[in-house]
Amino acid sequence: MISRGRWVLHLQKIAQKRMAFLFVYFPFRAKMLSPALTGKGEIMSDPKFTDLFVIGGGINGCGIARDAAGRGLSVTLAEQGDLAQATSSSSTKLFHGGLRYLEYFEFRLVREALREREVLLRAMPHISWPMRFVLPFDPEMRFDSDTPTSRILSLALPWMKGRRPAWLIRLGLFLYDHLGARKLLPGTATLDLRNSPEGAPLRDGFRRGWEYSDGWVEDSRLVALNARDAADRGATILTRTKVVEAQPVTGGWRIETEDPQGHRRTHHARLVVNAAGPWVSDVLSDRLGQQATAHGVRLVRGSHVVVRRLFDHDKAYFLQGQDGRIIFAIPYQEDFTLIGTTEAPHPDPDQRPVCTEAEQDYLLGFANRYFRRQLSAEDVVWTYSGVRPLYEDGASSATAATREYVLALEENDGAPMLNVFGGKITTYRRLAEQALARIATVLDVPRGDWTAGVPLAGGDFLVGGVDRLVQDLCADHPFLTGAWAKRLVRAYGTEARQILEGAQSAADLGRDFGATLTEREVLWLMEREFALTAEDVLWRRGKLGLRVTAAQAADLQIWMDARLRGQEPAAAE
């Protein structure tokens, strides 16, 4: 089993040591640039004020940077690790309204998210696509639930306590179909699970169910493409760059950053955006030197397991548990099934989240109540875990905590800052729009909202057009297998052609690192998507870490190190 396995941890240690002398800043362009650096501990100062300095390279930070750069603002973004290294690469990877949030009467949030699904699907049809979800119904199941809906049901119909009756589920699905402006996605349908492909993987006893629509997204690629688009529009993206201190000065902020070499640099900005995710409160108090506000976040660990494919169709499952929670079982990377998520308190954002044995057992036991094929720990090929910074609303549990977000603008006598609390991946674009609306109250913003309908890099084709792109790619490059071509299209969309340009054989793409990953593709990721380590490439610009060996991953790290040093990598033996 890989749990960002031992070999990944080994790669991290290697990368951390080598980063001490290998740090290079890669902008989006093909040409590799390195900033002028001073001696260790010395400070290089840039007296020029940018409009925004964004702290945090997750989806909210990169989304805000992209939106702001597209409006004509000057933007610098600093991320202490890799893009999407924390929460934004560890989600359940769904663009969804949040069906279960209806039980908490979160109608505004669900409506906003449902409307956003189709906006996002159109903007990135290579990394996001429609998906149908099967919801099996068990009339005998009892739920330990304390949602507003369950309390009302228990009072009005006390004999229904602990149940989600079929009519209530169907009502929720009706609302889910009609709260958003649904045009692309089909509505809910009733299933006879006794005589359907959707029922075949399930245990006996499930007779009836429904299927509804939501969307899948490759979360970490979403972040990288937002960062790239921001850079394409003039933003400066600094990865492996930690903000160590920020102080109000005349005209805005003086921000000091540090790279892995210990080189420090001073930046000036008119406004600071604190989009540090799980670290938002720590950045506010420790780096920005501000007093605690009325807002905060609740840190919740969400863990997932990946097993070999459980079913042969391309639909996902929405599964209800006796504890009142739900989990998903989702087709993943062609050959696997993703199962998750848990919700557990997490004490410290600096403590690396891992899927515990208890969480793994919980997820496997949950799935085993539904599927014929019974899972054990031996079936797990990978686990991952992330910390979600939910807005602290005083809810009694992580499950009940709101998924709403709060944007807190503090003017600070001429040194304004915007703090981002909470949020979910589906609403990142709307969050960015609203952040810019708040920013426009203190800065001159030259342009209005623009991101709706504007594709991310490689996404300039119609939803449902992947198969045609794959066919055309195979026709133009006959050495490609169908699976290889589909992986490239799913990752890079129409830009897959640029990666393959001029190649008549696999050998023309350079060194083969395994699992169809070639030198040409790795260079693309280093030069255009800010990748600096093998882990960046294998786990956050894609998921080829599931397929390569430890030796192949180590070879990739050595090769990338040589490229970063400006040396010609040694030929493969």
Percent of the chain surpassing pLDDT 70: 88
What confidence score (pLDDT) does residue 289 get? 78
pLDDT in tens, 370-383: 999 999 999 999 99
- pLDDT tens digits for 47-100? 689 999 999 999 999 999 999 999 999 999 999 999 999 999 999 999 999 998
pLDDT value for 568: 74
pLDDT confidence bin for 38, thresholds 50/70/90 = very low
pLDDT in tens, 181-238: 889 999 999 999 999 999 999 999 999 999 999 999 999 999 999 999 999 999 999 9
Considering Cα of 347, then 348, then 349, then 354, what sign does the dihedral take? negative
Residue 40 pLDDT greater than 50, yes or no: no
Cβ contact 88:63 at 8 Å: no
Reported confidence tier of residue 399, pLDDT bands at 50, 70, 90? low
pLDDT of residue 26: 38
* 257 has a pLDDT exceeding 70: yes
CA distance 232 to 384: 31
pLDDT in tens, 490-517: 999 999 999 999 999 999 999 999 999 9
Is residue 326 predicted with pLDDT exceeding 60?
A: yes
Q: How many CB atoms lie within 10 A of CB 200?
A: 13
Q: In the numeric block, which tokens belong to residue 360?
A: 């793994």
Higher-confidence residue of 160 and 226: namely: 226
More confident residue, 126 or 392: 126
Which carries the bigger pLDDT value, residue 3 or residue 76? 76
| pLDDT number for residue 45 | 58
Mean pLDDT of 257-279: 96
With both helix axes pointing from N to C terminus, report the angle between 550-564 and 6-22 in degrees, rounded to the nearest 10: 10
Task: State residue 396's pLDDT score.
Answer: 52
Average pLDDT over residues 408-416: 91
Structure tokens at 333: 């990377």
Q: Where are the alpha helices (DSSP H) in 400-509?
A: 428-439, 466-476, 482-492, 496-500
pLDDT in tens, 454-493: 999 999 999 999 999 999 999 999 999 999 999 999 999 9
pLDDT, mean over the chain: 90
Burial of residue 169, with CB atoms counted within 10 A of its CB: 0-12 exposed, 13-18 middle, 19 or more buried: middle
- Smallest CA-to-CA distance from 491 within 231, 288, 220, 280 is with 220
**Is pLDDT above 60 for 24?**
no
Q: Give the burial string for 240-276 (b: 16+ CB within 10 Å, else e).
A: bbbbeebebeeebbbbbbbbbbebbbebbbbbbbbbb
Cα distance between residue 162 and residue 189, in whole Å: 25
Coil, strand or helix at 527: helix
pLDDT at 225: 98
Q: pLDDT for 93-120, tens place per residue?
A: 999 999 989 988 999 999 999 999 999 9
End-to-end CA gap in the chain: 28
Tokens, residue 172: 């929720």
Is-above-0.95 flag for pTM?
Answer: no
Query: What is the average pLDDT across 536-560?
Result: 98
- pLDDT given for residue 44 in this prediction: 62
Instruction: Name the residue with higher pLDDT: 206 or 296.
Output: 206
pLDDT tier, 322 (very low <50, low <70, confident <90, very high otherwise): confident
